[in-house]
Structures are given as structure tokens and as C-alpha cells.
Amino acid sequence: MPNCTDSDGVFLTAMGAEETQIEASFAEAIRIAKEQKSLSLEKRAEATYAEYRRQKASGSAGRGFRLPLC
């Protein structure tokens, strides 16, 4: 059982993966957290995903994303 469901999305972002891969990874992390009924993991995954979207929208991606690890 993973203890940090959003880490794949963070890793994919750092590696410069395709946006669809990153988005799917965050969606999967949120789904897993809900399935496990882990509110803390769900909120962390949602917050990390929201930060990814915020940085992407602001153009910060050109300087590299800065997302939290677990």
C-alpha cells in the first residue's frame, strides 16, 4: 500500500513527462486515496495537483516545477 500516492505525479513532472501522463497520475492518486478512505492522502494529492496546475497556468513551468515530495 503506497504511503504517498502523489509521488508518481511529482516524479513524472520532474522528468518532463507528457501532460496527459501527469494529469492521469494525479487523478489516479486521488482515486486511490479515496478508495483507501484516507482523507489525509486525498487532501495531499489534491493540494499537490492544484499546485501543479497553478504553476502550469502561471508559466512557472519554464523555470521548472517545484512540487512537494510527500
Q: pTM of the entire structure?
A: 0.78
Give every residue of the chain whose pLDDT is below 70, as ranges: 1-5, 60-70
Phi and psi angles of residue 68, each rounded to the nearest 5 degrees, phi first: -70, 145
According to the model, what pLDDT value does residue 31 have? 95
In sequence order, which residues have a C-beta less than 8 Å from that of residue 56 and are 6 or more positions away? 19, 65
For residue 33, the enclosing domain spans: 7-60
Could you tell me how many residues make up the chain?
70
**Amino acid found at 34:** K
In a domain, 66, yes or no: no
Domain count, the chain: 1
In a domain, 20, yes or no: yes
According to the model, what pLDDT value does residue 24 have? 94
Helix (H) or strand (E) holding 45: helix 39-58
Q: Report yes or no: 29 and 5 within 8 Å, Cβ to Cβ.
A: yes
According to the model, what pLDDT value does residue 1 have? 42
Quote the mean pLDDT of the chain. Answer: 82
In a domain, 33, yes or no: yes
